[in-house]
Amino acid sequence: MTAKVDLTGQRFGRWTVLEEDGRDERGRALWLCRCDCGTERAVKGWRLREGTNRSCGCLRREKNAARGRKMATHGMSQTRIYNIWKGMLQRTTDPKSASYQHYGGRGIKVCERWQNLDGFLADMGPTYADNLTIERIDVDGDYAPGNCRWATVAEQARNKRNTRLFEFRGQSLVIADWAKVLNMNAKTLTSRIYLYGWSVERALTEGVAPERLADL
Ligand SMILES: [Zn+2]
């Protein structure tokens, strides 16, 4: 048992301590408290003193509501998702943008609905997290619902490999399809190209059965 400290009348965050209210399962003091919003509840004394219990939950609810309002209005301009949306528009429309040549310059557009921030937020907001970046599933496709998802930087790098086409003898295929055609292990092929830096021709032919290559 811990030494008894009278907390009656003290304030901790939004709690005001009313009176002692027994002990918890480990023998530590509980205190009946009243939150500024009127809720009364027994709270562990050590949590009050540590500052880890500061309200009945109304404080967090208010913060979340405030964040929700911020997302919905001009405060949005401060947030990361807004910058992602703006960057997407710039890459696809502004020839002065450093990466325009890879986006707008290749005919990639932002769909009508996402020209408006609200449309973008409605579709992509619910699955957004601060560690994610926007990725197009078909790299030649537009920024539009159905062709975009949130991915970590590592996932993006991996997916780019999975969708990159390699041309050989007039055919353009992704690594997985080349592996099937040539009866090779896709991992071997990936290593040859990305890890060892082999030319596409060498990666696709070395050790491959001649009859497979003859069919190409
Ligand atoms: Zn409260």
Return the pLDDT at 206: 93
What per-residue confidence (pLDDT) applies to 78? Answer: 57
pLDDT at 170: 85
pLDDT at position 75 is 53
Q: Residue 1 has what pLDDT?
A: 46
Residue 15 confidence (pLDDT): 94
Q: What is the rounded CA–CA span in Å between residue 169 and residue 214?
A: 11
Helix ranges restricted to H, 42-107: 45-50, 58-72, 80-93
pLDDT for 207: 92
Q: How far is the CA of 4 from the centre of ligand 1 (A)?
A: 26
Q: What are phi and psi of 171, to 5 degrees?
A: -115, 140
Average pLDDT by consecutive 10-residue portion of the chain (216 residues)? Answer: 75 92 90 89 93 89 72 59 90 89 92 93 88 86 93 79 83 88 91 87 92 84
Cα 55 to ligand 1 centre (Å): 5
Q: Are 92 and 143 spatial neighbours (Cβ–Cβ below 8 Å)?
A: yes
d(CA 172, CA 175): 10
Cα(40) to ligand 1 centroid in Å equals 8
3 state DSSP class of 137: coil
How many Å lie between the centroid of ligand 1 and the Cα of residue 72?
25
* In contact, 178 and 144? CB cutoff 8 Å: no
Confidence at residue 76, expressed as pLDDT on a 0 to 100 scale: 52
Amino acid at 3: A
Write down the pLDDT at residue 69: 63
SS3 at position 97: coil
Ion ligand 1, residue ranges at CB < 5 A: 35, 37, 39, 55-56, 58
Pick the closest to residue 115 from 92, 136, 138, 147 (CA basis): 92
For residues 12 and 43, give the distance between their C-alpha atoms in angstroms, rounded to a whole number.
11
